[in-house]
Amino acid sequence: MSTRIASSASDKFGRLIDRSQQITFTFNGNTMTGHAGDTLASALLANDQMLVGRSFKYHRPRGLVASGSEEPNALVGLGRDNRFEPNQRATTTELFQGLHAQSQNHWPSLEHDIGILNSKLFARFLTAGFYYKMFIHPRPFWKHIYEPFIRHSAGLGKAPDKELKDADTYEHFYFFCDVLVIGGGVAGLQAAKTAAASGAKVLVLEQNAHWGGRAPVDGGLIDGKAPEVWIEETRAALAAMDNVTLRDRCMGSGVYDHGYALGYERLTDHAPNQGGPRHRLWRIRTKQIVTATGAIERPLSFAGNDVPGVMLASAMRDYAVNWGVTPGQRVLVATNNDDAYRTALTMHEAGVEVVCVVDARPNGGGALMDSAKAAGIRVETNYAIKKVADGKRVTKVALCAQNSDGKDFEEVEVDAVAMSGGWSPVVHLWSHCGGKLNWDETQAHFRPDANRPPTSHDGQGFVIAAGSANGDMSLADSVTDGAVAGAKAAEAAGYPAQTADAPACTDVDEAPMLAVWSMPAQAGIKLRMKTFLDYQNDVKVSDVQLAAREGYESVEHTKRYTTLGMATDQGKLSNINGLAVLADSLGMDIPQVGTTTFRPPYHPISMGAIGGEARGEVFQPVRKTPIYDWNEANGADWEPVGQWRRPFAYVKSGETVQEAVNREVKNTRENLGLLDASTLGKLIVKGPDAGKFLDMLYTNMMSSLKIGKCRYGLMCSENGFLTDDGVVARIDEDTWLCHTTTGGADTIYAHMEEWLQTEWWDWKVYVANVTEQFAQIAVVGPNARKVLEKLGGMDVSKDALPFMEWRDGTIGGFDARAYRISFSGELSYEIAVPASQGQAFWDALMEAGAEFGVMPYGTETLHILRAEKGFIMIGDETDGTVIPQDLGLHWALSKKKEDYLGKRAHLRSHMADPDRWQLVGLETVDGSVLPDGAYAVGGGVNGNGQRNTIGRVTSTYYSSNLGRGIAMGLVKHGPKRMGEVIEFPGTDGTIYKAKIVDPVVYDKDGEKQNV
């Protein structure tokens, strides 16, 4: 039975809990109690909840194996509704009042799971690569039968309800330091102390709520003091230093190029009602990183090593010392090293019966073994666990000689098993950015090779491993190594060299461990099929061996084929054992096989932390013109244009959007329309070389433009494709103002700067983006001049301000620049006023325009008006593959200029191909509206058996002026096929028939705009 150790046993047990504070929580609906300081895992054990989940494939009962982030089994769904989160580790979840947890992958219940049949009936099919082998034929079965079945029976947590939004907030924080120490154990603290003494700015991250790592559990003396005393003194001394920042509950998540690292701080997971952000992602830039990330114990590979109650020896010791919990009353310890004897001694001290220590080594261990024997504990050497009897918890264990196949065995009745297969340094963060590893034969683990660290911009190493993360496993070595790492890091960060003085430590000498990859050594197939390597993915010794027989030699391939080391724990427990089995099967040495790649994050971090503050109102910037609020209040149906929001139409009550558009189109043609055109890009280009520069950027000539005049221009990329268009105004001798499309403002500005900075760096040209300095309002329609004259000020008559010219002046008392330009074919002015006065000017126009039938119009009306005139729109008629010639814009390609961007590209054979699709108007034979983007089909089929296409619709609208659909499109040989009817199959099954016509369907001679 798993219980709390009585406080009377010793005050050593339960050092992290406050027994006076009771906390109530639920697990699978059952109410349970724990203490302040408990993790969900320790509280479950205290409530005798051995069974915490069902395994991934076979639905085998699973219990807690570990006590930290390496835990593979105890994943729960945590919280409810808009705070529900799947796959949360019980071992890293601090208990709080009202915690609500649900086990995963069980159906219908944790206790009675139907999926367990998988293991009884199908285990021999669910071997390595079973998906690939079993479910490949017949093909349609995968989608409709196999996949739904597998998805139901296999898997981890459920995704949160898609209708709910996370109730919490998150944030990022940028931090800069000289030395980042990841891990607040004794090595990390000592490293920080030594580094900080140099004056370096030091940040220390500790993933747990408490400092010191394993040392308080494992014992020994530091500087003559109990570890916890030294830890607290050191922590307090560091906290008092101005150049040191300490963060607990903050995991070093990843190490990236050039000293960039991420920290994952969990602010309110342990106190959900505290308020403020839940997680904070630290985005750290540092000169040096010390990874003092500790080590993780390995399981032993014996049959039934996954039965609830079998756990790591260190974890059993942690539960006892840290949280005052024992997973059993009669425990067995199995080991290949001395460290596990600490567990035997600890449990013995806690009043738990230690039935036997099974030591695989022929001669057993050293001083710690002697202590266990002296305590009266049975110790057997060259001994092994043959098998733990299946079930929902440990009841019976068969023991045999290690060097045997297990035929001769004895059985013992125990209710918990502690196992230790040795220790693996946590090399993840060392490895994230390319730190290399060496195989340490003596300790049977990979450890960082200090001569091959991750390198920074200068080719020098920027990560130093310290303590047990560096393979220095004893207390004394670990602390000393911390001091050395701290001194090195500070010096590398440019601070005075420190002597790596470390406090003296008292430690027990340990006898060498023995690499044991199979227990017993000659275990047969029946045992190996019950011997788990990867608990989370249900990968067994037999699976890896099978993969090797089937030819999987690369450890990376074996990982993917067997799923060993995948999912949320990424093989923290299973990696070394798995590759040892693989190496053995391949007849290779372990270092030859190597490890899989260590990638960040070290441990899963929340999506919320990655997103940071970007949610709700600050999810994405919305760009607003000075008239945004008025638009919003006056029925704007918004259309996103880049990050701008522009009114698609101004919808009046009782109107549909389409009706609003029809009204706006007619009113602008017949009376007066106002368009908020503030989003148009406005770039000032000035300098002695500005004319030359613009001649290179535009396809037509801009240097010859007279002051006071405007000219429409096209821009191409150097590959000849049309990228932007707009009206350019000559302001003075060396100043031009270039209008760009709304979406082009920032990119064309960057485009100009790039050419000026990288290619024509010696040209005297300055560019300024003044897009947002002005509110620009298009005043359009037959009454446009009337309203401006009514407001009074500058002369806007035909003679004073002719078509395609501009003037500065005042209108209605506003400082204004009026451009006589038209994108609608109507009499039209675009008036720019300072943005701060944009709303006031708009109001003045609306008021003065009332008697002339003024109405605002949106982007859809803008589109229809220009389409009626056959004007192209960047992004509709162009898509990055279209050149000016395709659009009949040859007239805008200067023949006089020696060069301009795109000119050479236009000479390429494909660009001059007469078969390129070209712009035409399209008129449906029945007046209907063509579907946008529809393709026209020609005769025959292509190589894929699809009908050949001969064109596509680029713009299509209903014109209320003409009372029918209008469209433009690109059609093969289009201009030569006027009058021909071509077919556009719609996705609705209808064949749309359209006649090829002139794209200009309204006022072809331009009489209306030139009045």
Show the CA angle centred on residue 864, arms to residues 861 and 866, nearest 5°.
110
- Residue 236 in the binding site for another protein (CB under 8 A): no
Structural tokens at position 936: 């026209």
Tokens of 182: 């990841």
User: φ, ψ for residue 67 (rounded to 5)?
Assistant: -125, 5
151: Cα separation from own chain's centroid: 24
- At 667, the amino acid letter reads N
Site for another protein in 368-407 (CB under 8 A): none
- One of 18, 411, 589, 613 touching another protein (CB under 8 A): 613
Exactly one of 15, 258, 283, 916 binds another protein (CB under 8 A); that residue is: 283
Q: Which of the stretches 167-175, 359-367, 508-516, 646-654 binds another protein when contact is defined by CB under 8 A?
A: 167-175
For residue 303, give the nearest of 386, 182, 196 by alpha carbon: 386
Q: Give least dist CB 233 to another protein, A.
A: 22
CA distance 933 to 66: 58
* Residues in 639-678 at the binding interface with another protein, rule: CB under 8 A: 643-644
Give the nearer residue to another protein in terms of CB position, either 639 or 983: 639
> Residue 160, interface with another protein (CB under 8 A)?
no
Q: What is the dihedral of CA 54, 58, 63, 69, to 10 degrees?
A: -90
User: How does DSSP classify residue 566?
Assistant: -
Least separation, in Å, of the C-beta of 766 and another protein? 4
Q: Which of residues 175, 439, 760, 803 is near another protein by CB under 8 A?
A: 175
Name the token pair of 561.
Answer: 């084929």
Element spanning 260, H or E: strand 260-266
- Is 125 a residue that touches another protein (CB under 8 A)? no
The nearer residue to another protein, 141 or 173, going by C-beta atoms, is 173
**Between residues 813 and 1006, which has the closer beta carbon with respect to another protein?**
813
Beta bridge partners of 996: 922
Closest approach, Cβ 21 to another protein, in A, equals: 24
Taking the least distance from each CB to another protein, the nearer of 211 and 721 is 211
Using the minimum distance from each CB to another protein, give the nearer residue, 606 or 885.
606
Residue 681 contacts another protein per CB under 8 A? no
Site string for another protein, 238-267 (x = CB under 8 A): ----x--x-x--------------------
Q: Least distance from C-beta 20 to another protein, angstroms?
A: 28
Our CB check for another protein shows the closer of 273 and 442 to be 273
CB of 167 to another protein, least distance (A): 15
> Shortest CA distance to 323 belongs to which of 96, 3, 76, 69?
3
CB of 275 to another protein, least distance (A): 4
368: Cα separation from own chain's centroid: 47
The site string for another protein over 478-497 (x = CB under 8 A, - otherwise) reads --------------------
770 binds another protein (CB under 8 A): yes
Residue 657 to residue 637: CA distance in whole angstroms: 8
Q: Can residue 684 be called a binding residue for another protein (CB under 8 A)?
A: yes
Assign 3-class secondary structure to 680-735.
CEEEEEECCCHHHHHHHHECCCCCCCCCCEEEEEEEECCCCCEEEEEEEEEEECCE
Which is nearest to 207 in space by CA: 253, 146, 161? 253
Minimum separation from the CB atom of position 482 to another protein (A): 23
Q: Of residues 506-565, which lie at the interface with another protein (CB under 8 A)? A: none
User: What separation in angstroms does the CA of 451 have from each of 224, 391, 444, 501, 627?
Assistant: 34, 48, 20, 23, 63
Q: How far is CA 589 from the centre of its chain?
A: 37
SS3 content of the chain, % helix, strand, coil (to 5): 25, 30, 45
d(CA 990, CA 984): 8
Q: Which of 98, 148, 224, 275 binds another protein (CB under 8 A)?
A: 275
Q: How far is the CB of 834 from another protein (least distance, A)?
A: 5
The two three-digit tokens of residue 681, written as one number: 């890009």
- Locate 250 and state its tokens: 């903050």
Q: How many residues bind another protein (CB under 8 A)?
A: 53
CB of 625 to another protein, least distance (A): 7
CB of 813 to another protein, least distance (A): 8
Q: How far is the CB of 277 from another protein (least distance, A)?
A: 5
- Sign of the CA dihedral 308, 309, 310, 316? positive
> Which residue of 121, 147, 176, 925 would you call a contact of another protein, by CB under 8 A?
176
> Does 174 engage in binding with another protein (CB under 8 A)?
yes
232 binds another protein (CB under 8 A): no
Phi, psi torsion values for 348, nearest 5 degrees: -60, -45
Report, in Å, the least distance between residue 258 CB and another protein. Answer: 13
Where in 332-371 is the site for another protein (CB under 8 A)?
Answer: none
Of 517, 536, 527, 532, the closest CA to residue 590 belongs to 517
Q: Name the token pair of 151.
A: 């998805």
CB of 773 to another protein, least distance (A): 4
Among 82, 274, 403, 881, contact with another protein (rule: CB under 8 A): 274
CB contact at 8 A, 413 and 392:
no
Residue 1009: phi and psi, rounded to 5, are: -85, -15
Q: Which of 771, 878, 955, 960 binds another protein (CB under 8 A)?
A: 771
Nearest C-alpha neighbor of 746 from the set 832, 880, 642: 642
> Cβ closer to another protein: 30 or 620?
620
Among 170-178, 179-187, 896-904, 979-987, which window interacts with another protein (CB under 8 A)? 170-178
Structure tokens at 58: 């076979």
Sole binder of another protein in the list 134, 567, 804, 840 (CB under 8 A): 840
The reply to whether 122 sits near another protein by the rule CB under 8 A is: no
Q: Which residues contact 476 (CB under 8 A, 6 or more apart)?
A: 220, 504, 505, 506, 507
Non-local (6+) Cβ contacts of 891 within 8 A are none
Q: Please select the residue that binds another protein; options are 460, 506, 836, 881, rule is CB under 8 A.
A: 836
Count the alpha carbons within 13 Å of 114 in the hemisphere toward its beta carbon: 4
Measured between alpha carbons, how far is 567 from 561 in angstroms, rounded to an integer?
A: 13
Report if residue 842 touches another protein, rule: CB under 8 A: no
Within positions 614 to 643, which residues make up the interface with another protein, using CB under 8 A?
614, 617-618, 620-626, 643
620 vs 909, beta carbon nearer another protein: 620
| Least distance between another protein and beta carbon 271 (Å) | 11
Q: Where do contacts with another protein occur on this chain (CB under 8 A)?
A: 169, 171-176, 201, 242, 245, 247, 274-277, 280, 283, 285, 612-614, 617-618, 620-626, 643-644, 684, 686-688, 764, 766, 768, 770-774, 813-814, 834-837, 839-841
